[in-house]
Chains A and B, each alone.
Chain A
Amino acid sequence: MAECMKTDHELIREFQKGNDASFDELVQRHVQLVFGFFVKITRDRMAAEDLAQDLFIKLYKYLKNFRFEAAFTTYLYRVQTNTANSWLSRNKWKHLLHLDQVAESGAPDTSVEKDWRRKELWNAVGKLPKKQRSVVMMRIAQELPYKDISEILGISEGSAKVNFHHAMNTLKELING
Chain B
Amino acid sequence: MDNSFEQELTQLNQLDIPSIDGVLFTHKLHSSMKKQIATQRQMVTTLAASIFILFLGIATFYQLDSTMGHNTYYAEIESTYFDMDFWANDLDELLQENGDFYYEHLTILLLDENIVWDSINFLDEMNYLTTIKDI
Contacts and interface: CB of A to CB of B under 8 A. Distances in A.
B64 interface: no
Nearest to A114: B12
A60 B33 contact: yes
B10 A107 contact: no
Interface residues of B, number: 22
Nearest to B6: A168
18 contacts: A28-B26, A31-B25, A32-B20, A35-B25, A36-B17, A40-B17, A45-B18, A49-B20, A49-B28, A53-B25, A53-B32, A108-B16, A118-B12, A118-B13, A121-B9, A139-B10, A168-B6, A171-B5
A141 B13 contact: yes
B22 interface: yes
A106 B42 CA distance: 36
Closest 6 CB pairs of A and B: A28-B22, A36-B17, A107-B15, A107-B16, A35-B20, A106-B18
B55 to A, nearest CB: 32
B23 interface: yes
B13 to A, nearest CB: 5
A109 B16 contact: yes
Interface string B12-45: 1101111110110110110011001000000000
Nearest to A143: B10
A172 B9 CA distance: 10
Given A57-B29, A109-B16, A117-B12, A32 B22 contact: yes
Given A39-B18, A107-B16, A56 B29 contact: yes
Nearest to B25: A31
Given A27-B29, A53-B32, A39 B17 contact: yes
B92 interface: no
